[in-house]
Amino acid sequence: MIDIHTHILPGLDDGAKTLNESIQMIQQALDVGVSAICATPHILDGVSSSLEEQINRSFTLLRSQLVKRKMTTRLVLGSEIYIRHDIESLRNFSFFSLNQTNKYLLVELPMGGLPSGVDQLIHSLQLEGLTCIIAHPERCFIRKDPLSEINNMVSKGALIQINAGSILGHFGKEARKMAESLLEHNLVHFMASDAHNASSASITVLFQALEKLCQLVGKIKTEELVIHNPSKVLEGKSLWSHEKDTSVGEKPSLEERSLSEISQ
């Protein structure tokens, strides 16, 4: 599995507090079959070069520890950007896009409502070759015809990521029902952990939610949401490409292994 939404970098936001906790989170990920993790610290107001330096320093420290400890997790950098109309002004920051491919952005909406002009923003970014992945919209409780609002964003080029904890009821009945409705209407492209710590909000929730997700959408769709689609994002490839690798004798990468393999 691949987790495209985590707050695993130590000492940056409301995620991992220490380097030791970050290491513990990664070990938990390895234990349940997560082969690649995208670190996505919150990006709110006050973005500056000093913030970028802080993020890069934390990321480099954590990745060096993985090498030192011979942990095989692939760790890449990204961010979770709170929606802003000048979002493209952040394009030159190292954390701007997931895995620095300048293709996919993880974007967070405000709780309780949808700002005006979001669909136009999504469309304009799409024209610039940037695809917005909307983080956990099931938790934002868009009260006015939420399915229509989310479907409209998808029609403008957005992709949707739900939290694994949502379908398990960790965020309440309303978020669970909303996540299930999005899945039912084929409006979900990724499931991620949104992990913040090694206890109450750990990466292991991604594994814990697999059985429930399979019940809701089936094994093939589940593999799309936690393996194939996230893999394409980290490589900066389109989700809609149907081209297949015709090379002979090459073993599939960890990202391409089936759920049956990683669950063993």
pLDDT surpassing 80 at residue 176: yes
90-124 pLDDT tens trace: 999 999 999 999 999 999 998 877 778 899 999 99
Residue type present at position 153: M
Class in CATH terms, 2-238: alpha beta
Reported as a pLDDT band with limits 50, 70 and 90, residue 247 is very low
Q: Are 81 and 41 in contact (CB under 8 A)?
A: no
| Strand extents, DSSP E, the chain | 2-6, 36-39, 42-43, 74-77, 80-82, 104-108, 131-135, 159-163, 190-192
202 token code pair: 């750990």
What are the structural domain ranges in the chain? Answer: 2-238
pLDDT cut 70: percent of the chain above it: 89
43-90 pLDDT tens trace: 998 899 999 999 999 999 999 999 999 999 999 999 999 999 999 999
Reported as a pLDDT band with limits 50, 70 and 90, residue 251 is very low
Question: What's the 3-state SS for 113-177?
Answer: CCCCCHHHHHHHHHHCCCEEEEECHHHCCCCCCHHHHHHHHHHCCCEEEEEHHHHCCCCCHHHHH
Reported as a pLDDT band with limits 50, 70 and 90, residue 198 is very high
Q: Are 72 and 46 in contact (CB under 8 A)?
A: no
What pTM did the predictor assign?
A: 0.89
Q: Report the mean per-residue pLDDT for the chain.
A: 89
* Whole-number Å distance between alpha carbons of 151 and 186: 10
**Residue for token pair 């599939």:** 252
**DSSP SS3 for 1:** coil
Reported as a pLDDT band with limits 50, 70 and 90, residue 144 is low
**Residue for token pair 């957005």:** 158
CA angle (6, 187, 110) in 5-degree steps: 55
